[in-house]
Structure 1
Amino acid sequence: MAEVAAPTLRLTGTVRARYETPQAFQVAGQIATRRVDAGQPVAKGEVLMTLDDSDLRQSLNAAKAELASARASAAVAQSDLERARTLFARDYLSRQAFDRAELEAQQRSDRQASARAQVEQAKTALAYATLRAESDGLLTRVSGEPGQVVGVGQPVARLAEAGPREVEVAFPSNVRPPPAGELLLGDETLALERRQVSGSVDPASRTWQARYRIDGALPAGVGLGEVVKTRFAAASDRRAAAAPLYRVPVAAVDARGEGAQVWRIVEGQARPLAVSVARIERDRALVSGEALKAGMAVIALGTHLLNPGMPVEALAPPGAEEPAS
């Protein structure tokens, strides 16, 4: 009986950034200029695209004019209020007239504050006509073109932020992504740690999408979008194998009674050992069990006739016997 390595699953993956953010304008309009291309590295605050801002500038001018008018109106109302206060103090003005002057001054002051806020909004909207990179990184996609009319929040580029890199792997629907694996880079391997798994199987590809952190730095030649090889421990029950597996002849597995077992000769008598069958491979079976050890000799024929304690004689001395493996 020989110990075998745990079965592995080899899949391809794609190198991704930890954060990949769509870049979009916060105001609608027509793209006037595009200053970047896909695959170009950018720095935080760098201009990516601009919109035609003629309408936004007109809105700002209108808001400024409204603010000037409101400021002048508020100044007149405040002057009238001061005059009314003086007259009211000398009993030359009724209480009702004074209250009316005070209310008018308050209303025009509120109008001035509203106009000032509209100016700030117009300035902000004008600034939004320039799309800037949110952080350092690499543009993996640029879809916006000059002359294109875009809406608020419509993605025009995709930014892979600088920082940690991950590997995205698609697992078959019948294999739950394991918590760890390995990234194979020629003669070098890097450990992978699962960060997240999709909440459900993708209905189109019938796969689980999983993201793995990379323990270590990638070689200089491995960039974003690179297809890489990965390796994971696989188990038929979707859990990592906890015990070593051993290969024995199929005929050595006795499935009578309360579960699978194999037989060995102990002091001339047959003794059963409980095992769990992991997989059947033609004429061999992969089994595990607490009492099993590599190199252990087991009875390969006639196990269905054996009973515990039955006298059994080996056909050849253990040293001359070819172990079943």
Structure 2
Amino acid sequence: MSSTPLTAPPLAIGLAQSVYGERGNLELVVPNRDRGFRVLWCNGDDAESGGVPPRGWSAGLDVDTGGLVQGVRIAQVPHGPSFLEASLLQEGRAARWTWRPDLGFVPGGVIGPSTCTPSAIVAHDGRLHVLTAGDTEVVHHVARIESFPDLSWVIGGGIAAAGPVTSVDLVSRLGRLHALVVSGGRALVHDLAAPEAAPAPIEGRLRTAMLTGSPLAAVGLDADGMLVGVGSPPTGPLDAVDAVLSSLDGGTLEVVALRGDELLHARTGRSGFAPIGRRGVLGA
């Protein structure tokens, strides 16, 4: 039996496919060692772009948020147009940072208190949605987009949890919002359009989990930090993982994992895990 505690909010990284480039680049965010977070992108095109070869990864760009970031997620939204939204955990609060083509990443304000990394920000039904966590409850925040990129978050509901929440995820699939909540090692998928319905369990004792695919499937880390939901995982425990279904090469599951300071990327069914970069240190 694992001796690793399941109640401590784990480190979190974020991966998404953007609309940038001809085919849609991959965007990766990872907490720095000291403060802020690092951004890398994978060239999805068939030709070199910005000095990055096809399917290659860029060097890291550091964003100084002024404090220690414990986890960060990223999403492409259809507003701005086509801004990227980062949601992060810093000093017990979920905060938003927005990437604009003219300014880069700029602060977007506090979403609310949270005990673990918030979900990625999801566009659904003409509004933006994000999840944060309390000790035994997940909070669903909603924002109207008429004044985007300025947002005002209101609470749109909550999900009770059996114990401390270590991971939350949110996806929009087939016109419905689905929330994945990991609490006490158990992962449950909730349909937010049917709060009275029993949540669907995901097998295994997990620390973190992210929803991928349709029908819903999950990739995550178990109690020992071992990767689950991927056919050929790397050997040994990991510190964080995220995955996204991409349109590259006819459709792939892209997985990025963090082990120590090293970032590893795999395109399942096409390439195994290989190093792509490292966590940043901003220094004094």
What TM-score, normalized to structure 1?
Answer: 0.19
Q: Which has the higher contact order (CA 8 A, sep 6+)?
A: 1
Scaled by the length of structure 2, the TM-score of the pair is 0.21
